[in-house]
Amino acid sequence: MSAIVFTLGWWRSKPKALSKYAALYERQAKVKAVCVDTLSSQELMLTSARTKAVQRAVQTLRAQCEAQQKEGGQNGERPRVVVHCMSNNGGLELNDVLKKLEQEADAPWKPDIRGIVFDSCPGNLTFRAWSGALFASSSNKLPLGLGLGAGILATTLGLHATLGGVGTIAVLGAGLVAGRSFENFLTERYHRHMVERTAGIPKLFLYSDGDDLVTYDAVEAVAKRMKDNGDDVSMHRFDGTMHVAHMMAERDKYEKEVSSFLEKILPST
């Protein structure tokens, strides 16, 4: 039985860019269909918008699953699905989609998720990663950089004028400590949910030592937690490739890793 590939793109990813990944899977004999979803800026930031976006993603997946069941008759088997998520945006959306699927436990269309490909994720949820993703996805980098720089400078000067040098250092230091604590809290919750909600599903991690937004040590730390949890984990660390650019830089090697993973999780019967 062939599988559906559900691709969750990086933040503000464009259909044209995601179509290259869809084309990769469409060349695989064991893939029946590819569906794509990604969160917009508003959907990532606002809870209400994100809830609707997750419902949309699940409905997209449901339509594909029901179409496959109707088309070929699955002999009572659940539709097979492979998830391909990219960057922390894709990882966060995956967590939300899996949580929603837990509520559909008895639905006849509920997918049998046979494997997950993690491309450039999951990483740590830090301000540096967020601002880096913002710059990477923006077509107006100079105005954006000037705006952020001006905001930081204005805040610092305002604090200095009000509190003086020592007071400014104290406030900024306290803010940095609090910010780091909040980053650690968000990251741990993100990673814990990922480990728990994907338990028992085989995984392939595609990442790089040249990725400045999602560092290789962050990915490997999550992969280790999954291995320690008893999961089947495969990994390939690319050499020097940038964030979500591994396929563009080393297409043959990337496709080989994906093909081998599909052979393992979708054996011929």
pLDDT in tens, 233-268: 999 999 999 999 999 999 999 999 999 999 999 987
CA-based nearest residue to 242, from 141, 130, 119, 116: 119
| pTM assigned to the model | 0.81
**In CATH, what class is 3-125+194-265?**
alpha beta
What does pLDDT average to over the chain? 82
Per-residue confidence at 137, pLDDT binned at 50, 70, 90?
low
Q: What is the pLDDT of residue 85?
A: 94
Alpha-carbon gap, residue 67 to 71, rounded angstroms? 6
Which are the contacts of 171, defined by CB distance < 8 A and separation ≥ 6? Answer: 159, 163
Higher-confidence position of 67 and 157: 67
As a three-state string, the secondary structure of 110-170 is: CCEEEEEEEECCCCCCCHHHHHHHHHHHCCCHHHHHHHHHHHHHHHHHHHHHHHHHHHHHH
Domain residue spans in the chain?
Answer: 3-125+194-265
**Which residue do the tokens 């940038």 mark?**
242
